[in-house]
Structure 1
């Protein structure tokens, strides 16, 4: 059983090496390994998770911060959708709330919240906007609203971005 523990620990570390993982993701991964070998051993699973925590490979707070950062840089999404993704990854609701109100994601009470949200919305819209340039203004607004809404941005932010896009279109 000790060999199996070592094998699973190494396999888990390899799994984590590709990108940070939440505890839920690692438990799911290990669960599949247990099923494959027809083993049902909760204490062994807990022992592996405990060891990964000791090595600081499993840290939901760091994972959540990383996830928010990745979403802001590579695939801009609104605060609401990122919170939903974190919950789906097994991140505790309280930690999600903390992440949404931290420096990683400025809260609505801070001045730069609007700038951050609008900037992310504009960034998300950059590639799509050229596809909709030829559309009538109303149709373009609908497309933008739907696209940004599905990306998790709130209506207020979407409205300001639409106004900005329309103003730019009128100026050109």
Structure 2
């Protein structure tokens, strides 16, 4: 007999767990295992039964879908924290996503590593170059405000 109070507790914990970002089935399973070990009131067979029931419920509600998760992860990492395909593959493997699914989603994505590298280089080098210019002109006695104004005007004209 599964404790109904424990079941509701785990559902509430899962609601919070899914509220931050999408999750893979592996992440969810590991999270539930941790929570059940903390409670330490069920044997391993009952724990597995609860986990399977909750995972099925979450899948039915479409909160767990490894294909959508992989697609979301690749999109997030492409636009917000640019990563190469090898790094993305490694991260998704750590999240428990199957290698074939990762390869499929990477091939479907519009991941252009050369373009990402170029954007990162431009962003970093412009910032470094501007900092070097500021230091150069400060050492020569120019005011910070005037240096910034001149650099901003040059950036606008680019």
Normalising to structure 1: TM-score of the pair? 0.66
* Aligned with residue 80 of structure 1, among 69, 86, 89: 86
Which digits, 9 at most, give the CA deviation of each residue in 1:116-167, with x for residues without a partner?
2222112333443246659xxxxxxxxxxxxxxxxxxxxxxxxxxxxxxxxx
Separation of aligned partners in 2, 1:12 and 1:124: 36
Task: Show the counterpart of 2:144.
Answer: none
| Aligned-pair CA distance for 1:65 | 0.5
Which structure 2 residue ranges, 5 or more long, are not aligned?
131-158
| Aligned-pair CA distance for 1:29 | 1.1
Separation of aligned partners in 2, 1:122 and 1:19: 29
Task: Please provide the CA RMSD for this pair.
Answer: 2.0
Separation of aligned partners in 2, 1:14 and 1:101: 32
Task: Show the counterpart of 2:33.
Answer: 31
Task: Show the counterpart of 1:46.
Answer: 52
Task: Show the counterpart of 1:91.
Answer: 97
User: Number of residue pairs matched?
Assistant: 125
Separation of aligned partners in 2, 1:123 and 1:5: 48
More helix by share: 2
Which structure 1 residue ranges, 5 or more long, are not aligned?
107-115, 135-172
* Aligned with residue 123 of structure 1, among 119, 122, 126: 119
